[in-house]
Structures are given as C-alpha cells and as structure tokens.
Structure 1
C-alpha cells in the first residue's frame, strides 16, 4: 500500500506539472482580459499537432516540436483574439466566454478534418523505465517534468525581469493606471493571449508525449485545467501552479480507491472544500 501511495504521489506531481502550463495560460489571460478563455483546450491540441507534424512527419527533434507547438498555439490564439473575441468583448465577459467555447468546437473539428480521429504518437525512442526502489518513472515523464519546470521558470523570469512582463502585470493590476504610464492595454492583452496560448500548446504537447494525441486531447483536460486555475485563485500565476499540482495529486490518489472515471469528480470536491474555507482560492486575493 505504501508503495502504491508513493507511486501515485510521483505520478500526481508529474501530472500536475503538465496541467500547470495550460493553467498558467488560462490564469494569465483571465488576469488581463477578465474572462475565462475556454478555447485553451483546443489551442493545446492545435499546438500538440504542430509539434507532431514537426517531429513525426518532418523527422525533427522533439525540442523543435515543442517550439513549434508554442508558435502555432500563440499565433492561433492571438489571431482568434484579434479577429473574433475582441469584437465580442463589447457584449461583456460572458459573451467572450461563450465565443471561446464556440471557437474551441471549430478548432477541434478543423483538426478532426485535417488529421482524422485516430490516435497519433510522437516519434520517440524506446527506453526502459527508471526505477527508484518501488517507484517506476518513464524517461519521457522525467523529460516532461523538466521541460514543464523550465517553462515555468522562464515565464517567471519574463514576467519579473522584462519590460513586457512588467507591462502585463501592470495591466492585470490596473489597466487605467497602466494606460496613464504609456502602456497600451489592447496591445498587452493581445500579447498576453499569445503567451498564454503558447503555454497551452506546450502543455498539450507534453501530454501528447506522455500518451498520444487526437482532436479531443485538449478537451479532456479542460475541466482539470479550469479546476486548477480556480483552486489556485483565478488570475494568480503562482496559484495556477499550486492548483495544478493539488489537482494532479488528488486525481492520481483517487485511482487508488475509486475507478479512474471518478478522478475529475474528486478534483471538484477538492475545489469545493478549499473554496468553502478560502473563497478566493489558495493564492488569490480577496475582492475589496
């Protein structure tokens, strides 16, 4: 039992690191644009297919595929924001949220038409699991964890140390004051959507590397990503990471006692428990 618990905890940490990237993208977009962008799952899938084409079709290393995943998802997310969602914003946050759901369905069906419904696997070398006592970890899982942690560190450095990152934080805190300081909130909003969408693309690729991809890859993780963002505190970047790890571990521990189909239900039970005690989420700030 102890061995199974340790294995579940390790699996949960790895799963949480993969959920953290799209959860970061979701929270970053919410922090600046103030609407839940439900197309992030479809953007994650689009990025994963971009990486798959580069790796499996063109034969390039997976590092190039990850870079392509970020670029594809970032450009697609920015184009949809500029061409569709920004115009829907005149109807309020709810209209944009509904529009993002509609766009998600469009993207999923375009991917289905282009690539079919079959599962697609990346071109990866076969390797033995790494064994630490009773714990077994796949080499690709270790690579995914390291890439996810590296991307999180790069995002932190970008937000903390670069002028564009500081501008994004300023617009998230107070767009009117940022405008007085010479920052254009609309440009920053578009940049935020691009960065957030790119994070989703990388997250979708890492999930595909761990398993496989199909047009519904992102849709299957959407509720878990949303749960992680809400649990951590909507709009909170550190909260999205914390929430993702809590959800990832909770879902893996669930499998020890219940059927895998109950994983998502347990995640929302965790949300209800935490939000009952702290309505703003783990690291969210209370509204005044």
Structure 2
C-alpha cells in the first residue's frame, strides 16, 4: 500500500510537472528569443508576465471577453509594455554593454511591478472562470483548466515555430540571431528585428503569466516569482536556444513538482538555483547552446 501511494504521488507530480513545465516554456521562449537577437538577459520578463496577466484580467472581467480573446489581449499588453521598456530604459544603454542593459531591465521590472500595485493593489485577483470538477483517473487528478492551458501552450509554441520557419520576418529574426552583421549586409534592418523580438518575447511572457493565473490567481508578484524558473530553464537549455528553452522548462517543471514531495513547497525555488549552478559548472553553454 505505501509503495502504491508513493508511485501515485510521483506519477501525479510528473503529470503536474509536464503541465507546469509546458506553461513555463512560453515565457522561457520569450526570454530566449530576446537574448538570441539582442544578446542581453531581459530580467523584466517576470514583470512583463504580470503586465500581461493583468491585461488579460481587464479584458476578461471588465470587458467580458472570452478567455481565448483575453489571452490575445495579454499578449498585446505585454508586447507594448516590453517595447516601451526596451526603448525607454534599455536601448539608451546599448553602448554600455549587456550587463548594464540587464540591470536596466531589472530596474524597469521594479517600476512595472509598482505600477501594477498602484492600480490594482496587492490582493489576489481571479479570472471569470466556470467551476469545473477535476478529472480523476484512479489516484491521479487533473483539472480541466490545466488541460486547456497545456493545449494553449502547445498551440502557442507551434504558432511560434510556424512564424520563425515560414514567414520572411521570422527568417530575418533567425538570421539576426545567427549573425547580425551578415544579416545587415543582406539588407535586414536590425532595429526593426529587435523590436519584433522584444514584442514577441514580451508578448509570450504576458501570455504565460495569464496562463499561470488561470490555474490559480494573480497578484503583482505573479510574474516576478517566475523569473528564477524562467532563467533556469533558459540557462539549462542554452541561452538563446528556443528548443533548449522548451526542454529546460519541462525539466524545471518536473523537478520543482518532484521536489515538493521531499520539502515544503515554499522551497521549490531552490531547484532553480541548483540547476543554474550545476549547468554553469558542468556545461556553461547549456544543453543546446553553442560553445564559445
């Protein structure tokens, strides 16, 4: 009996980890896309996730829009905020180097977090969702909203792949990420591509923030609480690698859920620190990153 209970608990944690990791992959891809094109870690990604979550909240609860449309509103709100942050706070420090740009993005994240607090306070807020019973398979429980969020995350990743692989703008973005100087010689405008990368990355972060909020609730720290996990997923997969961000997010998601079986949930963020330290020590380039 204890063995079957332990097996059920591990299986439940793995299922939860795959679902949470797939959702985490959405903002992690956004983080990696920005890094691949602009070559600096945008630590405002967590605050942008919160901005998107609240943008979706307004669309859903104030204007009464369905969740699918509200997710597009979350994407658009975070994309606009991301471009503003890039052009106002980060780009003026372009000549100062990646470190100063990263610090500027961190400062912008604090500003965004407090703007959210100013308008919505610190309390928890929820979306207008129907009350649905969990689906149960023996000892395994899966929420219908979890399944829907999982499907939306997969659809977002497929749409991103199609954009990068099949559209001229997506191919130009990949060219800049591979070799900015060569892309410039081929007539690609790096400034326009940088704006596209920031809008896309920030929009994905906003969508990810709302997807997480749909399963629980949101507050101004919804996104900032994700920053370490997003960064750990990107580092594990290889900074700038979109497939790596997906794999890294799945590993982080499952590791965090399995860790809860051993220690208190409040310590699950330790997983991110351990992963970052291990990867930087053993393979600094990450699983899919190119060695310098």
Fold match (TM-score > 0.5): yes
Question: Which residue number corresponds to residue 67 of structure 1?
Answer: 72
**TM-score, with normalisation over the residues of structure 2?**
0.96
Deviation by residue 1:242-286 (Cα, 9 ceiling, x = unmatched): 000000000000011111122111233234334444321111111
How many Å separate the matches in 2 of 1:36 and 1:53? 29
Question: Which residue number corresponds to residue 199 of structure 2?
Answer: 194
1:82 partnered with 2:87: yes
Question: Which residue number corresponds to residue 270 of structure 1?
Answer: 275
1:29 to 34, 42, 60: 34
How many Å separate the matches in 2 of 1:275 and 1:5? 28
Size of the aligned set, in residue pairs, is 287
- Are 1:141 and 1:210, in contact at CA under 8 Å, matched by a contact in 2? yes
2:264 to 238, 259, 262: 259
How many Å separate the matches in 2 of 1:86 and 1:272? 29
1:97 partnered with 2:96: no
- Are 2:30 and 2:202, in contact at CA under 8 Å, matched by a contact in 1? yes
**TM-score, with normalisation over the residues of structure 1?**
0.97
**After the TM superposition, which residues 43-192 of structure 1 pair with which residues of structure 2 at under 5 Å, given as runs?**
43-192=48-197
1:227 to 221, 226, 232: 232
SS in 2 for 1:136: strand
- Are 2:89 and 2:108, in contact at CA under 8 Å, matched by a contact in 1? no
- Are 1:250 and 1:267, in contact at CA under 8 Å, matched by a contact in 2? no
How many Å separate the matches in 2 of 1:132 and 1:154? 31
| RMSD (Å), alpha carbons | 1.0
Deviation by residue 1:62-121 (Cα, 9 ceiling, x = unmatched): 111100000000111112212331111121111111110110000010110011111000
- Are 2:164 and 2:174, in contact at CA under 8 Å, matched by a contact in 1? yes
Question: Which residue number corresponds to residue 279 of structure 1?
Answer: 284
1:245 partnered with 2:281: no
SS in 2 for 1:150: helix
How many Å separate the matches in 2 of 1:281 and 1:116? 39
CA separation of 1:97 and 1:275: change in aligned 2, threshold 3 A? closer
Q: 5+ residue gaps in structure 2?
A: 1-5
Q: 5+ residue gaps in structure 1?
A: none
How many Å separate the matches in 2 of 1:230 and 1:159? 21
How many Å separate the matches in 1 of 2:22 and 2:245? 11
- Are 2:125 and 2:218, in contact at CA under 8 Å, matched by a contact in 1? yes
